[in-house]
Structure 1
């Protein structure tokens, strides 16, 4: 499928495949951040919280690797766990403040799939 100005061209071998491509376009559009003067605060909050959530998940994975690798002592593991728990609680608070859900922070990256 390719887009030229206001036209969409499909490279589909069947009607079913064309319908799947259309559905993918619809889903992709719904998950994009739409910034306009009326919702700029919400759009910006969504973008920032998405980036923070991505970093938080990466930090959790790295922490688990370090724990599994035995490179942390008990005190460091406790401190790391407490820090990640507080960060998750703060993220939940911010999502409530801006009326966002976990699915709102999961952006569709087109051919790369979902962000998280």
Structure 2
């Protein structure tokens, strides 16, 4: 394959979208962590490791975080689907609700 035919491995950053793209990446990481924490909380709740007060506190906290994520996505014109990175043969980063 000649140098002309090889795909470029350089990042092409568009100055007009760099803020949105960076926000998308950061929100993707935050959403991944939020989903992992939510699953951990559910697991601990099902095992009986949490008191009723802890369950209430975690529930309210997770709801507020989900609302904040929605607000940030709206602010930057992103949808939840925009945060789900395609990892090629591995599938998507975040689970889908299909």
Q: What range describes the TM-score normalised by the shorter chain of this pair?
A: 0.7 to 0.9
Work out the number of aligned pairs and report it: 86
Structure 2 length-normalised TM: 0.83
Which has more strand, going by share of residues?
1
Quick one: distance in 1 between partners of 2:27 and 2:84? Answer: 10
The list of structure 1 runs, each at least 4 consecutive aligned residues, that deviate by more than 3 angstroms after superposition, is none
Unaligned runs of at least 5 residues, structure 2: none
More RCO (CA 8 Å, sep 6+): 2
Correspondent of 1:44 among 22, 28, 32: 22
Unaligned runs of at least 5 residues, structure 1: 7-33
Structure 1 length-normalised TM: 0.71
Quick one: distance in 2 between partners of 1:94 and 1:67? Answer: 29
What is the CA RMSD across the aligned residues, in angstroms? Answer: 1.3
